[in-house]
Structure 1
Amino acid sequence: MTSDEFFRLVRTWLTIHLPRARRLSPHTIRSYKAALNALLDYLRETQHLELDGITFDGINRSTITGFTTWLLDVKHMEPSSANQRLAAIKSFLSYCAGEDPALVAIWLDVKLVRPVRAVAHAPDGLTMPAVDALIRAPRQDTRRGLRDTTIILLIFDAAARVQEILDLTPADIDTTPGAGRVTLTGKGTKTRTVPIMDKTGRHLDQYVNEFHPGTPAPGASFFYTVRAGQHHQMSQDNIAYLLNKHAAAARAHCPELPERIHAHQLRHARAMQMLRAGVPLPHIKEFLGHANIATTSIYASADSQMVREAIQKAASVTPDLAPIWKGSDDLILRLAGLK
């Protein structure tokens, strides 16, 4: 097969199959595109191929195994990220096999490549004092401070992924006291509705009054930036910048804040808070939008504080054992087997 056929299938997969047939989100499609770009970089770097020389003939189980090793050893990628790239490549080849029976053998061969074994790391959630300091860091008497406070508070309270926050529209927000909630669109365009605190609802109302006066368009971006007089959806880089900006200011009062902050640390902190409050894992799974409860279970295995507290509580109600080594010297020696 020629390189033209290879890149024709790449284009139809990215521009037609994924967005129209599978209805994947733009964020997911960007991830798949990154995987293909990484594979092209690998082929050019290790096999010294030009783009117009890349065909399906050079893709097999050995090639893709080498690709995952390259991601780990050369690009220093985490196993979970390397496995995401591998899954994307397999998905692409599955599509290609459906389009051209001549590619079925390649797809079946690459299917045998096993994912990298990933070591489960404890979630790096922020402590609650750190969360509080980060939420309080923006000056709420300024327009931008109000926006940043609302974003940080909502990410934490809804335990939301960054893209879920960026994809919010005014129609997704309900600030009714005692029944406030937000509807989040997660991975695979799956939606879930999560409750929010009344305090978060009040901040959202203030934000709407300032940033969406009047009757906002239901499908407009809830959080936005202004460029050339036009509203544009905020980017993940915007969120990363504001988080680290306010963390730097808050660190003077709360040394527990790490040097680098990312939004997932707020999500992890909320999950750990719920676990410690006694919320069952299946409920936390639905709240976080996890597809598998095994993903949620890592919070339970990571929380050594809960285990420690349970042990101390059990020790306080356990009666002391009667002393064994008590009596005359002769009796103690006999019990110890010394006589």
Structure 2
Amino acid sequence: MKSDEFFALVRRWMTIHLPLSRRLSPHTIRSYKTALNTLLAYLGETRHLKLEQVGFEAITRNSMSEFLSWLMDVRQLSATTANQRLAAIKSFLSYCAGEDPALVAIWLDIKKVRPARAPELAPDALSMPAVEALIRAPGQHTSRGLRDTTMILLLFDAAARIQEVLDLRLGDVNTTPGIGQVTLTGKGRKTRTLPIMDKTGRHLEQYLDVFHPGARAPETLFFYTGRAGQHHQMSQDNVTYLLNKHAAVARVNSPDLPEKIHAHQLRHARAMQMLRAGVPLPHIKEFLGHANIATTSIYASADNQMVREAIQKAAGTTTDLAPIWKGPDDLILRLAGLK
């Protein structure tokens, strides 16, 4: 298949199928775009193919296996990230097979490429004292402090992904005591409605009184940033900056707070808290919005690892018995929707 036919399918996938048919978020679409751009870089570096030479004949089971290794060995990506790039390519080829039966054989062949084995790392959850110190750090004597406190509390209480909180609309939040809840839109535009603590509901209501006084249109962004008198959606980088600013304050009273903080650590902390409270893994899976319970099971493994580390620490007090990378190429990428 010629290069123009290859990139025509890329364009339809990126600009029509993903955003309109599958209704994926811009963040997810960017991830798919990164995967395809990385594949093109790989074909350029290892097969010396210019963009106008790229076609489906370059995508074989062998080349994709080598692509996976190249991602980890040359690009220094983790196994998990490399597997995400591979999954995105497989998703693209699945779409292509549906568009052109002549490509079914290629798709079926690439499906056989096994993901790299990723080590099961324990989630870097914050301790509960660290969570509490981080929630208290912004204070509530200023409107920004109130906003940041509310956001951190909600990230933790709902075990929410950062984009899920940034996408919240007023109509997604119910602060009624006893039945308070939030409706989050997660990966694949799937929604889940979660209960929130009354304490969280009170903070949300206080935030609403300050940041959304008067009539409240359901589609209005819950959290926002102001520029030139207009409300705009906050960015993930903005939230990460705020978390680390407040962590620097909280670290005075909670030295175990890591030097760098990210929102997912609050999500991990909530999941670990639920697990230790006896909440069954299937319930935690639904709460977190995981597609597969195997993803949730890592929290149980992490808890067992903590027990093991505690035992090892205790055993440390005993005596050891023995020592023991512009032109026409740029145009092709733009026309294909990759830039």
Instruction: Using structure 1 for the length normalisation, give the TM-score.
Output: 0.87
**What residue in structure 1 maps to residue 119 of structure 2?**
119
Q: Distance in 2 between matches of 1:306 and 1:87?
A: 32
Q: Does 1:60 align with 2:60?
A: yes
Q: Distance in 2 between matches of 1:300 and 1:288?
A: 14
Where do 1:83-98 residues align within 5 Å?
A: 83-98=83-98
SS at match of 1:303: helix
**What residue in structure 1 maps to residue 327 of structure 2?**
none
User: How far 1:102 sits from its partner (Å)?
Assistant: 2.5
User: How far 1:205 sits from its partner (Å)?
Assistant: 0.9
**What residue in structure 2 maps to residue 110 of structure 1?**
110
Equivalent residue letter for 2:63: T
Q: Distance in 1 between matches of 2:124 and 2:57?
A: 43
Are 1:276 and 1:306, in contact at CA under 8 Å, matched by a contact in 2? no
**What residue in structure 1 maps to residue 237 of structure 2?**
237
Equivalent residue letter for 1:104: V
Where do 1:167-316 residues align within 5 Å?
A: 167-304=167-304
Equivalent residue letter for 1:255: P
Q: Distance in 1 between matches of 2:45 and 2:138?
A: 45
Q: Does 1:46 align with 2:46?
A: yes
**What residue in structure 2 maps to residue 156 of structure 1?**
156
**What residue in structure 1 maps to residue 328 of structure 2?**
none
SS at match of 2:121: coil
Q: Distance in 2 between matches of 1:142 and 1:40?
A: 49
Equivalent residue letter for 1:239: V
SS at match of 2:226: strand
**What residue in structure 2 maps to residue 322 of structure 1?**
none
**What residue in structure 2 maps to residue 129 of structure 1?**
129
Q: Distance in 1 between matches of 2:101 and 2:273?
A: 52
**Deviations, residues 224-272 of structure 1 (Å, cap 9, x unaligned):** 1122322111111111111111112211221100011111110010111
- Range 119-128 or range 21-30, more displaced: 21-30
Are 1:182 and 1:195, in contact at CA under 8 Å, matched by a contact in 2? yes
**Percent identical residues:** 75
**Deviations, residues 28-63 of structure 1 (Å, cap 9, x unaligned):** 222211211211222222233332332222211122
- Range 286-295 or range 256-265, more displaced: 286-295
Q: Distance in 2 between matches of 1:12 and 1:275?
A: 43
Are 1:43 and 1:49, in contact at CA under 8 Å, matched by a contact in 2? yes
User: How far 1:306 sits from its partner (Å)?
Assistant: 8.0
User: How far 1:150 sits from its partner (Å)?
Assistant: 0.8
Structure 2 residue runs of 5 or longer lacking an equivalent are 312-339
**What residue in structure 1 maps to residue 11 of structure 2?**
11
Equivalent residue letter for 1:38: T
**What residue in structure 2 maps to residue 326 of structure 1?**
none
**Deviations, residues 86-120 of structure 1 (Å, cap 9, x unaligned):** 11101101111221222222222212211111111
Instruction: Using structure 2 for the length normalisation, give the TM-score.
Output: 0.87
**Deviations, residues 267-317 of structure 1 (Å, cap 9, x unaligned):** 010111111111122221111111222221211121138857xx9xxxxxx
Q: Distance in 1 between matches of 2:294 and 2:305?
A: 20
Q: Distance in 2 between matches of 1:99 and 1:291?
A: 27
Q: Distance in 2 between matches of 1:112 and 1:271?
A: 34
Across the two proteins, how many residue pairs are aligned to each other? 311
Larger Rg: 1
Equivalent residue letter for 1:35: A
User: How far 1:3 sits from its partner (Å)?
Assistant: 1.9
Equivalent residue letter for 1:207: Y
Equivalent residue letter for 1:216: R
Q: Distance in 1 between matches of 2:230 and 2:116?
A: 45
Q: Distance in 1 between matches of 2:225 and 2:41?
A: 33
CA RMSD, aligned part only? 1.9
Are 1:3 and 1:52, in contact at CA under 8 Å, matched by a contact in 2? yes
**Deviations, residues 48-89 of structure 1 (Å, cap 9, x unaligned):** 333233222221112211211111112222212111111110
Q: Distance in 2 between matches of 1:37 and 1:251?
A: 40
Q: Distance in 2 between matches of 1:70 and 1:192?
A: 37
Q: Distance in 2 between matches of 1:40 and 1:252?
A: 48
Q: Distance in 1 between matches of 2:305 and 2:59?
A: 48
Q: Distance in 2 between matches of 1:114 and 1:201?
A: 45
Equivalent residue letter for 2:236: Q
Equivalent residue letter for 1:260: K
Q: Distance in 2 between matches of 1:228 and 1:6?
A: 43
**What residue in structure 1 maps to residue 314 of structure 2?**
none
Equivalent residue letter for 2:153: L
